A = this chain, B = another copy of it.
Amino acid sequence: MAKTNLKLVEVDYASEGEANCKALGQIFERIGDKWTIMIVGALSRGPMRFNTLQRSIPGLSHKMLTTTLRGLERDGLVTRTAFATIPPRVDYELTEQGRSLHEPLLTLASWARSHQDYIEASRKSFDERAAE
């Protein structure tokens, strides 16, 4: 039953010392951010301008985009390069480290995709059972 490659399991999140757990939590907070995943996904195909980025992600507001981008920049996962043209133009691009995040996220996306139907069905049946 998916015993996995045990070599990887040195990590074992949510079990180690509290300090470590807390540190990992910091990271997960960024990754878990609703938009981070989408933005990294979009940028994985190359640098993008602010507006292009926003339009490529439905439902992402102006504000949330800037906020999330700041966070990613702070974490060294994205670089921001501004051109002093007029009108202004700003390109965002994944750093080496940012690109390395893409792969794990793909794994997750792949999981999500392949379990999407199952989950939807589970929810439906659960809700029906709950509505007695």
Contacts and interface: CB of A to CB of B under 8 A. Distances in A.
A2 B56 CA distance: 24
Interface stretch (A61-69, A83-91, A112-120): A112-120
State the main secondary structure of chain A at its contact with B.
helix
A18 to B, nearest CB: 5
Integer count of this chain's copies in the complex: 2
B11 A127 contact: no
Nearest to A35: B14
Contacts of A108: 28, 31, 104-105, 107-108
Contact of A14 (B57, B75, B119, B122): B57
A106 interface: yes
Given A14-B42, A75-B122, A33 B32 contact: yes
